[in-house]
Amino acid sequence: MEYFKHYINGKFSDGLEQFETLNPANGKPWASFPAASEQESNSAIESAHSALYDGPWSKLNATQRGKLIHKLGDLIAKHASELGDLETQDSGKLAVETRAQSSYVADYYYYYAGLADKIQGEVLPIDKPDMQVFTTREPIGVVVAIVPWNAQLFLAATKIAPALAAGNTVVVKASEQAPAALFKFAELVDESGFPPGVINIITGFPEPCGRVLTTHPKVARIAFTGGTEVARHIIRNSAENFAHVSLELGGKSPMIIFEDCNIEGAVNGIIAGNFGASGQSCVAGSRVFIHRSIHSKIIALVTERAKSIVVGDPLDSKTQVGPLATENQVERASKVVQNSITQGASLVFGGKKPSQHKEGWYFEPTLLDCPDQEFDCVKTELFAPVISVIAFDTEEEAIAMANDSDYGLGSGVFTENLARAHRVSSKIHSGIVWINTYRAISPISPFGGFKQSGGSREAGIDAIHEYTRTKTTWINTSSEPMSNPFIMR
């Protein structure tokens, strides 16, 4: 059993209460974590507030902040394998993926380290004589970053890095499900030399930890990635402190496969978009619309490829699909698949827990062929390796079905017709459109959705502006005194 500690005000501390997490590969306890109490949650916020307004952090210039952020990136890159293995043991994600993602997370810190001293205001061409007016961008304040279990290091980086670059301080709430990697990350924060309180890392349950973090009067911004129901609670809680709230929520992303696509590329896109990360991705392309003329061909090719997919131990480099993170996910996926079959969907392959894996929370890669979208598997975000396939006849029909969802995070279009690619992508209601590729990300590219997938953007230059507030300064340059306020000119 491994034991982890909170990181508050530059110190590691045992929590008043502890809880265990289970290894998804075998369902057994492997690590113990502190569950933040009301007192500890308050302490994390108070330390961040003190560091921002009273500590040395506020006295560092932007270039100095950037150097610290860059150093943190170096330490992440150095420890990427260790971070990845911890995340795999705690979440069940493939080690080959978590190691690579951990290494790439360093690039997010490098990117924002470079932007730290490039946040600037502007001089306004004001319509008043003898007035110089300019704007500056200041830190927004204490930022609470709440991240889910499925990619904690990455999703934390998209919040921590721009927040720090803009001069804020941060309290990170790691998910109570699989928080190990972020607690190891806390050790790297400590080693990198940030002043105490600049970055605080805790975990805990909605009550009291989540409530305190989202209602505290000294919190200026809440950056949340997770589910829509939790988001609604956060929005309601933020009425207590009027904190700015950014939301990156779930998805039920469409993939449109046209008859003129590169067949091999489309098949690879379907597999990557649904079986990558064992389907546990908010951008999983789980609604696949295929032109009727190639519908059977694509299904046959995906089915053939699925036969060779290796399901197994996520630490084994040969494994291609690992376990799901929780037993509840397996039960939920099984129930939705069975309900969909009862409703009239055809099970092409998969649909159950693999017989060779008695222990752990595994679920077979699954494909359901559906006559239309009125099926549980098409409407429900599963966080499991389950594909729902629907045939279409016209471009207009495909676009209409793709947009017929409460979500709007990611989408994919596979076609060799450049005009069609532009035409269709402009009509899809989603924050991200991948054309002839899928699940590509970059610190340079904004990430976020439409509709119930949230309206905020993470990554890219725009994200850093969301962690600042604009101040406008007016200077009267006239040598004459200010005019009599009771004489209008």
Per-residue pLDDT tens for 293-308? 999 999 999 999 999 9
Please state, as a whole number, how many other Cβ atoms lie within 10 Å of the Cβ of residue 374: 11
Q: How far apart are CA 307 and CA 298, in angstroms?
A: 15
- Are 247 and 231 within 8 A, CB to CB? yes
The residues annotated with a catalytic role in the active site are: 248
Q: How far apart are CA 341 and CA 297, in angstroms?
A: 22
Q: How far apart are CA 279 and CA 324, in angstroms?
A: 9
pLDDT at 462: 86
Q: CATH 3.40.605.10: which residues of the chain?
A: 2-249+454-473
User: Domain 254-435 falls in which CATH fold?
Assistant: Aldehyde Dehydrogenase; Chain A, domain 2 (3.40.309)
pLDDT at 16: 85
For the chain, state the CA radius of gyration: 24
Q: CATH 3.40.309.10: which residues of the chain?
A: 254-435
Predicted structure pTM score: 0.94
- Are 469 and 243 within 8 A, CB to CB? no
pLDDT at 399: 98
- Mean pLDDT, the chain, rounded, equals 95
Dihedral of CA 199/204/210/211: which sign? negative
How confident is the model over 328-382, as pLDDT tens digits? 999 999 999 999 999 999 999 999 999 888 899 999 999 999 999 999 999 999 9
Q: Say if residue 166's pLDDT is above 70.
A: yes
With cut-offs at 50, 70 and 90, classify the pLDDT of residue 52.
Answer: very high
How confident is the model over 16-44, as pLDDT tens digits? 899 999 999 999 999 999 999 999 999 99
Q: How far apart are CA 206 and CA 433, in angstroms?
A: 33
- Are 109 and 70 within 8 A, CB to CB? yes
State percent of the chain over pLDDT 70: 100
- Are 92 and 325 within 8 A, CB to CB? yes
The token pair that represents 296 in the structure block: 């059977």
Question: What average pLDDT score do residues 393-411 get?
Answer: 97
C-alpha torsion 437→441→446→448, nearest 10: 80
From edge to edge, which strands make up the β-sheet containing 244-248? 11-13, 6-8, 199-203, 169-174, 142-146, 219-225, 244-248
CATH of domain 2-249+454-473: 3.40.605.10
pLDDT at 489: 66
pLDDT at 448: 94
